[in-house]
Amino acid sequence: MSEAVPDSRDPLPSWNRGFVKAAILDFVAQVTTEGTLTYKPPSQRIATFDNDGTLWCERPFLVQIYFLVDRIKAIAIDNPALANQQPFKAILENDRETIATFTKKELVALIFATHAGMPQEEFLAVAASWFNNAKHPHLQQLFKACIYQPMRELLDFLKAHEFKNYIVTGGGVDFVRVIADEIYGIPPEHVIGSSGKLKFELQGDTPMLTKLPELNSFNDREAKVENIALHIGLRPLLAFGNSDGDLAMLRYTAAGTGNRLALLLHHDDSDREYAYDRDFKISPLVEGLNVVPTLQGGMLVSMKQDWKRVFLF
Amino acid sequence: MSEAVPDSRDPLPSWNRGFVKAAILDFVAQVTTEGTLTYKPPSQRIATFDNDGTLWCERPFLVQIYFLVDRIKAIAIDNPALANQQPFKAILENDRETIATFTKKELVALIFATHAGMPQEEFLAVAASWFNNAKHPHLQQLFKACIYQPMRELLDFLKAHEFKNYIVTGGGVDFVRVIADEIYGIPPEHVIGSSGKLKFELQGDTPMLTKLPELNSFNDREAKVENIALHIGLRPLLAFGNSDGDLAMLRYTAAGTGNRLALLLHHDDSDREYAYDRDFKISPLVEGLNVVPTLQGGMLVSMKQDWKRVFLF
């Protein structure tokens, strides 16, 4: 019956008791208890989180794909010829078979092609407006509500212990920045993502910062580490991902000196969310299932076993 | 006599009374007073500062040039052939005439060539160690003491009002990161600078993050704005520079809606520091002297008139 009585002192009420929850609580206690050998000052308390499939639901398609579809529909109104051109045609016709053949990198490139050619601040307004209405097709909730409650609790718990939480996502940096503070309490400057090139110039006397239709960085796999070093300049104490695209970040984190935690979420819960790993084309999980448990501080997280609840709704 | 009696309530005691000091105090009051139309929440309080010549002394040569010289001397011990190769030869022989012909971009490229090919964390240790001993040749003080006291007060004043202070420098991001927290109270993740490419890979089972001898971004002029947008994702409320390399950042800041402050330091004080503008090859100031006063919120800062003291020593 103790499950039914929430412990008001439990900072992670949506996590089931077990090795993972104990490891998280123990890790935070070790690095934040002053006067111990394992203590790390707040300046070093960096935690990095993948977004798609780690903080919010990424199935059946990435959230940004739904935004992309709506962007293409909006653009096609002004430019009807797009309806006969691939890859736009497949998206406008909801041709899932063709869409399913797109690679992750092709999708990101497509995202930038349709998100660019406008002032950066205009794009941010378009994306912010979209998030107010767009709903997940199966869960029937706003996408911004489809975040994992146990992860939100973990973010808050770390923040309360003076960790700086960062999102390190393959998704577009501007897209995630418009919503990250509202749903995760993570400010724009703590979002590292895939990015297009930007161009600053004077148009007449007006300074304009424009998003170019050209990839700057595809923030996946090794690039996640390289961009952590570029943006933060410190090795994380804790990293959390859910696919082989996060494995470099988990290895880099685990290889640091002292206490580290490298966590890999396994989607094994078809009742409450989805069950997938190697079959998910966008973010396959194959190597990580074998590697992460061998890393120092490395640990698999089972959605089915370790999470008491998945969503807040 | 009032000059001799420090006002304990004055947050900027090293600034002389005048239009500039009044404008800074007024700006901060306007954007931080709740319930007013000019109020901005802390999340939007971004302030960006150039480093060389804005926060610390950049003459007779950039601080990083002295580090570069010491790096080249250290490398030449293992590789004596360098003594006959330009541009190393000029530096090893202290051939100031040849050194003076180097462009800013050549210097940065040279910096990366001699700072790279090693693990990122090894470089950070080398640079941190250098800062503990290296002295300014004229001022006879550690370089890390050659920071402008009025600017340190301004940084602290803004921080106390929940501004997030960023350095946006043409200098190497790793070089500045090792010292910024100690001397400015600015953590590594708030330093945006010129950067080399990084490479993450497994060497055997060991994850290694290596600095490559290849430029990623030369953070000067328009690139300063593009990198602010990439790293922060928000337009600054306040920006501070001292050369035409900062003009794009000042224009971008000033063009935002609501109260903004775009400040340009003019080195016109040969008695206490240096007097230079268009003649300084590394960071010339020509266009900014005319443009900044025409910007909304734009203002020139005279070292001679606006600063009561320059250094703390």
ipTM of the complex: 0.93
What pLDDT is stored for residue B298 in this prediction? 98
What pLDDT is stored for residue A6 in this prediction? 53
What pLDDT is stored for residue B243 in this prediction? 97
CA atoms of B30 and B47, how far apart (whole Å): 15
What pLDDT is stored for residue B6 in this prediction? 53
- pLDDT per residue as tens digits for the range A213-246: 888 999 999 999 999 999 999 999 999 999 999 9
Contacts with A222 from chain B: Cβ below 8 Å = 199-201
Using the Cβ of A118 and the Cβ atoms of chain B, whether some distance falls under 8 Å is answered with no
What pLDDT is stored for residue A108 in this prediction? 66
CATH topology of domain A2-59+144-306: Rossmann fold (3.40.50)
Radius of gyration of chain A measured on its C-alpha atoms: 20
CA atoms of A208 and A224, how far apart (whole Å): 29
Q: What is the 3-state secondary structure (H, E, C) of A128-151?
A: HHHHCCCECCCCCCEHHHCECHHH
What pLDDT is stored for residue A75 in this prediction? 86
Distance, in angstroms, between B307 CA and closest chain A CA? 31
> B87-95, long-range: CB within 8 Å, 24+ apart, which pairs?
none
Q: How confident is the model at residue A150 (pLDDT cuts 50, 70, 90)?
A: very high
What pLDDT is stored for residue B94 in this prediction? 86
Q: How confident is the model at residue A3 (pLDDT cuts 50, 70, 90)?
A: very low
What pLDDT is stored for residue A7 in this prediction? 56
- SS3 of B19, please? helix
Q: Which residue has the higher pLDDT, B291 or A99?
A: B291
Residue A242 φ then ψ, to 5°: -145, 10
CA atoms of B108 and B70, how far apart (whole Å): 15
Contacts with B209 from chain A: Cβ below 8 Å = 225-226, 229, 252
Buried b (16+ CB within 10 A) or exposed e, B123-141: bbebbeebbeebebeeeee
Q: How confident is the model at residue A109 (pLDDT cuts 50, 70, 90)?
A: low
Q: What sign has the CA pseudo-torsion B49, B51, B56, B59?
A: negative
Residue with tokens 């050549």: B106
Using the Cβ of A177 and the Cβ atoms of chain B, whether some distance falls under 8 Å is answered with yes
The amino acid at residue B43 is S
Interface of B with A in 251-290 (CB under 8 A): 251-252, 255
- Give the residue ranges of chain B where pLDDT is below 50: 1-4
What pLDDT is stored for residue B99 in this prediction? 81
CB contact under 8 A, B222 and A233: no
Q: What is the largest CA-CA distance in chain B?
A: 70
> Exposed/middle/buried for A23, CB within 10 Å: 0-12, 13-18, 19+?
middle
Contacts with A123 from chain B: Cβ below 8 Å = none
CA atoms of B53 and B59, how far apart (whole Å): 8
CB contact under 8 A, A195 and B248: no
The amino acid at residue B5 is V
Retrieve residue A200's tokens. Answer: 């600053």
Distance, in angstroms, between B287 CA and closest chain A CA? 14
Buried b (16+ CB within 10 A) or exposed e, B200-232: beeeeeebebbbeeebbbbbbbbbbbbbbbbbb
> Exposed/middle/buried for A132, CB within 10 Å: 0-12, 13-18, 19+?
exposed
Instruction: Tell me yes or no: is domain B2-60+144-306 CATH 3.40.50.720.
Output: no
What integer is the mean pLDDT of A27-45? 97
Q: Which residue has the higher pLDDT, A7 or A133?
A: A133
pLDDT surpassing 90 at residue A28: yes
Contacts with A251 from chain B: Cβ below 8 Å = 202, 207
pLDDT surpassing 50 at residue A1: no
Q: Name every residue whose Cβ is closer than 8 Å to that of residue A101 and which is 6 or more positions away in sequence.
A: none
Q: What is the 3-state secondary structure (H, E, C) of B68-131?
A: HHHHHHHHHHHCHHHHHCCCHHHHHCCCHHHHCCCCHHHHHHHHHHHHCCCEHHHHHHHHHHHH
Retrieve residue B23's tokens. Answer: 């404008």
What pLDDT is stored for residue B2 in this prediction? 41
CB contact under 8 A, A230 and B174: no
With vertex at residue A156, the alpha carbon angle to CA A170 and CA B187, rounded to the nearest 5 degrees, is 70
Residue of chain A with shortest Cα separation from B221: A200
User: What percent of chain A has a predicted confidence (pLDDT) above 70?
Assistant: 95
Among A43, A118, A202, A226, pick the best mutation site for testing chain B contact (most B Cβ within 10 A): A226
Closest partner residue to A233 among B43, B188, B248, by Cβ?
A: B188
Distance, in angstroms, between B85 CA and closest chain A CA? 31
- pLDDT per residue as tens digits for the range B172-196: 999 999 999 999 999 999 999 999 9
pTM above 0.90, yes or no: yes
Give the residues across from A263 on adjacent strands: A240, A299
Q: Name every residue whose Cβ is closer than 8 Å to that of residue A294 and which is 6 or more positions away in sequence.
A: none
Q: Name every residue whose Cβ is closer than 8 Å to that of residue A242 and which is 6 or more positions away in sequence.
A: A50, A53, A54, A264, A265, A266, A267, A283, A285
CB pairs A-B closer than 8 Å: 89
What pLDDT is stored for residue A85 in this prediction? 83
